[in-house]
């Protein structure tokens, strides 16, 4: 379903803080695709989690939560 849904045109209109997280070794969504997302969303941050794949939140929970918490700290 996600592959059939293209919301690219909506991304430049987002006006909220955005963090795009990706596992370095993700071959499903992928770093290049995540980079495009971050570039299309105004002011978005991109964080690549080393040595993690598509399930980065399960593979590297400490690194993922640290990235999220750092992002939240930066917007408060």
What are the beta bridge partners of residue 45? 19
What are the tens digits of pLDDT across the range 16-31?
999 999 999 999 888 9
CB 38 within 8 A of CB 20: yes
Q: What is the mean pLDDT of residues 45-55?
A: 96
Rounded to two decimals, the pTM is 0.86
Residue count of the chain: 76
For CA atoms 55, 67, 33, 6, give the dihedral sign.
positive
């Amino acid at each position: 379903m996600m592959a059939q849904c293209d919301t690219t045109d909506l991304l430049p209109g987002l006006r909220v803080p955005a963090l795009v997280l990706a596992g370095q070794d993700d071959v499903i969504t992928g770093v290049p695709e995540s980079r495009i997302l971050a570039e299309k969303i105004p002011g978005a941050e991109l964080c690549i989690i080393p040595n993690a794949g598509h399930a980065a939140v399960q593979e590297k929970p400490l690194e993922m939560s640290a990235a999220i918490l750092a992002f939240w700290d930066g917007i408060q």
